[in-house]
Chains A and B, each alone.
Chain A
Amino acid sequence: MEEGRPIFQQVAELLENSILDGTLVEEGQVPSTNELAAFHRINPATAAKGVNQLVDDGTLYKKRGIGMFVSPGARAKLRSRRRDEFARQYVQPLLAEARKLGIDPAELKHMIDTWGEN
């Protein structure tokens, strides 16, 4: 796991990524807390905290005695939330770096267009 950020957050994000890329499908079962702990070599309580965060925000739901499942509609919801974060996480630092190097917005757009074609 990466330094500097709570591990439970990283666990939650990894599960979200799996839902976004289709590795985990809606109504499909999610690995158990113990499986996550063993796989990532982390404390099971920490893994449980990550999973519970996703239960709390509705991404996952619990079937008593069976396990955790991906909620219907979870993928679309995650997508829209991640899209909101995209500007802050990626565009803002991109602009800051461009400014530092004296790349003006027009030039930057041109770069994005050129790279996007490849």
Chain B
Amino acid sequence: MSPVATVTDLTKQYRGVTALDRVSFSLAENRIYGLLGRNGAGKTTLMQILTAQNFASSGEVTVFGQHPYENERVLSRICFIKESQTYPSNLAVRHVLRAARLVYPGWDEEFAQRLVDDFQLPPQRNVRKLSRGMLSSLGIIVGLASRAPLAFFDEPYLGLDAVARQIFYERLLADYTEHPRTIVLSTHLIDEVSDLIEHVLLIDQGRIVLDAEAEALRGQVVTVAGPVAAVDEFARTGAELHRVLLGGTARATVRGDFGAAEHNRARSLGLGLEPASLQELVVRLTTQPNGHAPAATTAGATSKEAAR
């Protein structure tokens, strides 16, 4: 199956700042991707370039086998819901939905109306008078009801409470099941989406540091705690990502291929072993506030940050 989008050696520079640094990956058809990374990592720039809203400095981008720029055939099949989507201020909710219906060939009006009810959005209200959460809901409704073969949701949640986010996840999953398509979810709420996404793309400082199946990552990262010597010994079976010390006791996050044998081994070393979440892996693989780039993306590398 040919990929929906292919990015090769994509670089974007803004006045000497490298926002994207030789990024390469592809998006397969009908999958849900999690595009993860810290603020400023380059996620939005990447989505802007894929949707022809920004230009690459160098590198190659093809979407549905073609260049997206000024390409109606490609653009009509893409939907990009931005973090702070703005609408012409004289429009009411129903006008925004009517415009979306004209733009997206796959638009499902009945589904859109159901979503309006689900999110309790007042159709007659002017977009200027919508709360932050209501604006986010409106974006989500457009993104879902467009049924675009390639949809990007860039942090679509601003102002949305936990209940509304849950509605979003449930409707997304149900509709995706009925109408498979490629969805890219850019989010900081990793724990909330970790069961939904099939593939993880993690960007850090403009580079892809992780491009992997979500299922393959589960169980790949564990936290072990116990006597320092035992932790040292166990940590050698993988790549140590993080460590904190408390007297003679250490807690280390280790990435590796951990099966039953390694679990038994931890137990026999007297270590407590717990699987780490996708969120924890992401935190450990991305640049920390002290500016230290993580050293552990390659096997065998270790970064020991001892806490005082």
Contact = CB atoms under 8 A, between A and B. Distances in A.
Interface of A: 1-8, 34, 37-38, 40-46, 49, 88, 92-93, 96, 100
Contacts of B178: 34
A7 B195 contact: yes
Given A37-B173, A43-B198, A7 B215 contact: yes
Interface of B: 31-32, 169-170, 173-174, 176-178, 195-198, 214-216, 218-219, 222, 260, 264, 267-268, 270, 274-277
B170 A41 contact: yes
Contacts of A5: 218-219, 275
B276 A41 contact: no
A8 B215 contact: yes
Contacts of A3: 218, 275-277
Contact of A4 (B197, B264, B275): B275
Contacts, number: 62
Given A40-B195, A42-B196, A4 B267 contact: no
Contact of B32 (A34, A40, A43, A100): A43
Contacts of B222: 4
A43 B214 CA distance: 10
Given A4-B218, A5-B275, A37-B177, A45 B31 contact: yes
Main secondary structure of the interface of A (DSSP, over half): helix
B177 A4 contact: no
Contacts of A100: 270
10 contacts: A3-B275, A3-B277, A34-B177, A34-B178, A38-B173, A43-B32, A45-B31, A46-B215, A92-B264, A100-B270
Contact of B195 (A41, A88, A96): A41
A51 to B, nearest CB: 14
Which of A37, A92, A100 is the most central at the interface, judged by chain B CB atoms within 10 Å of its CB?
Answer: A37
A49 B178 CA distance: 17
B268 A96 contact: yes
